[in-house]
Structures are given as C-alpha cells and as structure tokens.
Chain A
Amino acid sequence: MNTQEMNPAQPFFNLSARWQSGDKRQPACLSAGCIALFFLLLFAAGYFMNDTGLAVDFLNKKIAPSLHYPFGTDWLGRDMLVRTVKGLCRSLGIGLLAAFCSSIISIALGIMAATLGRKVDLVVSTLVNLVMATPHLVLLILISFACGGGATGVIIAVTVSHWPNLTRIIRAEILQLRESDFVLLSQRFGKTPVWIARHHMLPHVLPQFVIGLILMFPHAILHEAGLTFLGFGLAPHQPSIGILLAESMRHLSTGYWWLAILPGISLVFTVKLFDILGNNFRTILEPRTSQE
C-alpha cells in the first residue's frame, strides 16, 4: 500500500518491529481463511441438511445430548442440531443483509457529510445523534412495530439501524485526510478531486470500511437474536436462535438445559468468529498494526 512510502517514520518502525516479532499478516490470513471456510461449511450444511430432523417425532422427544443427537431433541422430538444449524444460517443471512445495507448507508452519509459542506454535515450528524438518542433496542422495537412486526419487521429493523457508528468513523477519516499534507500537496500539483479520492483517500478509507463492515456482523446477529428472543417476528417453523432460546425458557425449569445452552454456545461461537475475523482483517489491511 502506498501509504508506507508517504510516511518517513513508517519503514523504520516497521523494520524494527518486524525484527522482534515477525510479520503478523500470514497467520492472520490463514486464520481468516479458516473462518471463511467454516462459514461456507455451515451454509452448505444448512442448505443441504434434510428437513426430517425438523419433523415432529414423539417417540424421540426430550432426549439429552447423545451420539445420535449431539444437541438433543426438544419436547416435540425435533433434532436440535438441525434446528440450531438452520437457525444460525438464518441469523447469518440476516447479519449479511444488515451489514450490507447499513454499510452502504454509512459510506454514503459519511462521504456526504465530509465533502458537501457544513449544512449537509449538520444534517448527517443530527441524523446520527437522533438514531443514537434512544437505546438501540428500543429503536429496533419501534422499527419492527412500524413494519407490522413479523420476521420482515425484524429484518428491516436490524438492517437499517446499524449505520451510525461507521458513518462517524468514515466521516472523521475523510475529514482528517482532507487536511493531511499529502492531499494538500496533491491538490497543489493540480490533481483532480477524483484522482485524489482514488489514489489518496480510498486506500485509507477502504480498510476502515471493510473492518467496520465485518465488525457490524456480531452486532447485527446479536440484535436479531435478541429481538426474536423478545417475541418480535416469532415464526416457530423458521427456526432462529432467538426463537429457540425463547421457546426453551418454558422448559428450563424442568431441567432440559440443553435446549438453551447448546444453541446459545453455537451463537456465541459464531459471533466470536466474526470478531476474530474483523480483527484479522484489521491486521492484514492496516499497515500500522500488521507488523506490530
């Protein structure tokens, strides 16, 4: 990345750091690859897994986790492993959609705020403050109510409410870049704004954007799970982790712990993987930390 040549302090710093602990990019790439592979496998499993596990089977109800049913079965004899995998896929899909939509909103608003003058900036920051003025969960409940509840309501709520943080980051980054020496110099040399945006801004903003995008997943997935857990968008035939956990509440006091514990652990595991993935991308994309 050409930022390294820009800053004279960087190569020296990098060299000494590399001497001490080596390049961190390779292991980061490796683990990011493994995590991506895991998600692919999960999606494949969710897609190809046949639905017989979802059928009601009273002969095999309330079985504790065993070799045949690693996650046990519920009070209707449905295989919890199948339900968990399907639920995770659904949550991941919603997370993907949310991250996609919210990141587009935030990059559009962030660029507009930083480049179109004070008035637009004021409007955008008012919008950001407005969305952040109420607790996020209350806002989610409101949006899902506005969409008439149901699964659609949950998806829309999670999708359109995750942009404020990333908008702030992108706006701040661009504002800072605009005042930086190399951009000012480039302007003096007569480069066009588009050229500067392409060659000087993009390499800095893109990593922030990608990292922000990936770190949006855990939030989106947890919010989706929380919202369905509260009972918004309840559709029991479409398993989602939040629904599984909400259903399990009625059976916990009678000792069926696996109904809540195992799907929850899978959710935590997934969220954690996205967290690690985001941090790996940070290591790979940001020259400052890649050799730390």
Chain B
Amino acid sequence: MTAPLLDIRSLHLGVALGRSAHHPLLKGVSFQIMPGEAYGLVGESGSGKSVTSLAVMGLLKRPLAVSSGEILFKGQNLLTLPKREMRRLRGNRIAMIFQEPMTALNPLSTVGRQIAEMFVLHQDKSWNEAQKLAIDALASVRVPNPDRRAKNYPHQMSGGLRQRVMIAMALACNPDLLIADEPTTALDVTVQAEVLRLIKELCAERGTAVLFISHDLGVIASICQRVGVMYAGCLVEENETRALFDTPRHDYTKGLLGALPRLGSRSQHGRQRLVDIDSIIADRSKLTETRFIAPRGIEGSQP
C-alpha cells in the first residue's frame, strides 16, 4: 500500500477567545488523500469544510487556530513546519483555487503577471521567462488567444475565464495536491460543467490529487472517487462516492441525499417529495464529542 499524500489526524481547530477560552470549530477530523486521488468534502455552510482547507494551506488567520492534531503532507507535519518551509510548499506543492473568481484576482495587475508570479516565486525564473510560461499555462487551461489574454486585467474577463486563470495559476508549478474550495459555486451552470471537466482532466493528466470542497453533491459525484461528509465540525461519514450515494449510513448523509431533486424519481402520487433538513445549524457548543447527530428539531428545542 502506498503512503497517503495528505494525512489529517484528529485535527482540532477553533476560535481563540481570550487567553484560555476556545470555541471549537473542528472536532477531531481525520482523513487521508492518496497521491492522484480526488477526495470530496461535502457539508453545509459552517460545517468546517473551508477551515479544514485553510488549515492545510497554513492560511488560518487569528483568531482561528489549530489546537491539536497533525496534518501530514508526504509524511511531514505541516503544523510544525517553519514558516519559510511552508511558503516553499504553498503554491508549489499544495495549491488552492478559491470560490470567488471575481475577487480572488488582483484587479490592478494583468492575469499574465499574476500567473507569472508563480514561476518567479518557485522556479527562480526571470520575469521575462515567467511571462512566457504564463502564456503556456493559459493555453493549457484552454483559454483562447492566450498571448493576448495574458495582457488582460481581471475585469476584462468573464467569471469562467477568471476561474480558468485561477486554475492555470494553481497548477502552474504542477502541485501534488490541489485544494479546490467551491471553485464552481459562483459560476453559472454551463460554465460550471466546463470548469469541472477542466479540473478533472488536468489533474488526471498530471497525477495531481484533489481535495474538492463543495456543498453540491452532484458536483462532488462527478469528480471525486471518495467523499467525506462533514457536519458541525466532524467528519460524520466517509466512503467511496458510489457507495456513499447508494447506501448512506449516517442520518445526516441520508438527509443530504434526500434533499436532492432527481430526474425521473417519482412517488406513487406523481410527485417526489424532497426531504427537508431542519433549518438552523445546531449550536456547536451543545453537541457532544460523540458523532451522534440528533434530529435537529429535537436538539434545538433543548435549552
């Protein structure tokens, strides 16, 4: 068996409140990603998907802080790595695509220059060489007229194009792991499909592992081999994508799947009834360490 590329071991993370108080956000999250594997993290807003990814990138900002656990990347614990070493990994070996292509690029800098920065930072290229490599990178994400587009500013591009620029930037140094935090959520559906296909194909070509974060089960299903379901700071279920969809074990997963409309599935009344997950997310401080999830209606009613 090969060693995992990314191995997160009982990661606890929270908001530091004052000197000793601590409000937990992640409560012992553990999962592994194999080299070249696409792993999906699903869960509703606030379930801890994004902070998990930021923790891996080492981009947590105060007052967010990891309290315990390990994040092993190629056997190296990222949490204890010196800043300088971490910077060398970031962008180079572990790259990230963000949700908002509209704001994730610097509006005052050409996209070519912003991609070129990767080569200057991690491959010691001169700006001239880097600019040329940036054009190649744009071509590799199938941006038409890459040499002309490289001179464009972000505001001259559509959302889909900008997200391609982000992908080109993230994959510029052929990272081992790509973290995609809801990369298609802000895009319209047709563009979404193109961008997804692009991520999938490029990563498969280069053998890049993907940590794909989304609340969209359909998107996850189309790209990931394995899925982890997050709820209120815990990884409540993890399985092969197909198996998870066929036989969800956890109540919350069942709820999530039940809330998905499906083509062709109708009940005898001629209408499919979607399952409703009770509206308000549970107050984390009242959740116990066990991974049991009470029906939210009941839990919410307790003082």
Whether A associates with B in a native complex is no
Q: Which B residues fall within an 8 A CB radius of A?
A: none
